[in-house]
Amino acid sequence: MELNELKLVTASNLIKLRTGRGMTQAELGAQLNYSDKTISKWERGEAIPDAFVLTQLAELFGVSVDFILSSHDKWEKPKENEVEEVHYSVEHIIAIAVLGVLTAFLIAFVTLWLMGVVEWRLFLFALSAAILVYMILICVFKRTRHLQHVIALFVASVFVVVYFHLPPANPWQLFLILVPAEVLVYLACNVKKRRRPLPKKSDNP
């Protein structure tokens, strides 16, 4: 197989694998620490990932490196009694989980209200719990593009909960601690240095 043909075959397989997972080029790039422009070049057949990245791609999509580099256009007869693979919308799963948490707290609030207790601070706990569930699920489903912002929002929500539950007066000085806490979140999320792709070599000698 010639190099140009290999590039096109690899590009076709990457597109199928990526779209099959419901991932955007930017999301795939974030998983590999490459920009979406680099992913776009691979999928246009203008370049081909190096051996290390091919290994990462194979591990990410659960296939072999040979699978990514081989053509699969040949039609094959479906196996009898083959169970059709079902794909679920990750975004819908995350939305259902978050709304489920908020609904549970709303039910608790209404129940207490009917008993004569109006505890509005339940909504503060609901916010923190919803953010925590969202943060866990985007990690599970590898949708971590905005993870840093989600963690920062969760930390801030925890400070708000503590602020409204410290008697007798709400100590505003508590939020002075929030500033270095958010800085720590930023530094922790950016410890890993992003790897820059090597410049494309010219075909000319």
| Claim to verify: residue 172 and residue 128 sit in the same structural domain | yes
Residue 51's domain comprises 3-69
Number of domains, the chain: 2
Is the predicted pLDDT of residue 204 greater than 70, yes or no?
no
Distance CA 90, CA 21 (A): 9
Residue 159 lies in a domain: yes
Q: Is residue 198 part of a domain?
A: no
Q: Are residues 114 and 147 in the same domain?
A: yes
99 and 168: one domain?
Answer: yes
Check residue 199 and give its pLDDT.
53
State residue 194's pLDDT score: 55
pLDDT of residue 144: 79
Q: What is the pLDDT of residue 203?
A: 43
Q: What is the pLDDT of residue 162?
A: 86
Out of 27-36, 114-123, 196-205, least confident range:
196-205
**Are residue 109 and residue 184 in the same domain, yes or no?**
yes
pLDDT of residue 8: 87
Contact 68, 54 (CB under 8 A): yes
Mean pLDDT of 168-177: 74
Using the predicted structure, report yes or no on whether residue 55 has a pLDDT greater than 60: yes
Same structural domain for residues 35 and 119?
no
Alpha carbons 149 and 97: distance in angstroms, whole number: 19
Same domain for 56 and 16? yes
Residues 48, 14: one domain? yes
- 113 with 179, same domain: the answer is yes
Same domain? For 96 and 177 the reply is yes
**Domain contains 194:** no
> What predicted TM-score, i.e. pTM, was given to this entire model?
0.51
Residue 197 falls inside a structural domain: no
> Which of 71-75, 107-111, 135-139 is predicted least confidently?
71-75
105, part of any domain: yes
Same domain? For 110 and 171 the reply is yes
Query: Does a structural domain hold residue 46?
Result: yes
How high is the mean pLDDT of the chain? 82
pLDDT of amino acid 1: 58
Q: Is the pLDDT of residue 91 over 50?
A: yes
Per-residue burial over 175-187, b if 16 or more Cβ lie within 10 Å, else e, is eeebeeebeebee
CATH number of the domain residue 35 falls in = 1.10.260.40
Pick the last residue of a domain from 14, 38, 69: 69
Same domain? For 52 and 95 the reply is no
Give the Cα separation of 156 and 182 in Å (integer).
Answer: 8
Q: What is the pLDDT of residue 164?
A: 82
Q: Tell me, what's the pLDDT at 3?
A: 79
In a domain, 77, yes or no: no
Question: What whole-number percentage of the chain has pLDDT above 70?
Answer: 83
Token readout for 173 is: 């000085």
9 falls in which pLDDT band (50, 70, 90)? confident
Tell me, yes or no, whether 135 and 99 share the same domain: yes
Q: What is the mean pLDDT of residues 144-170?
A: 83
- Whether 152 is covered by a domain: the verdict is yes
Residue that is last in its domain, among 40, 69, 98: 69
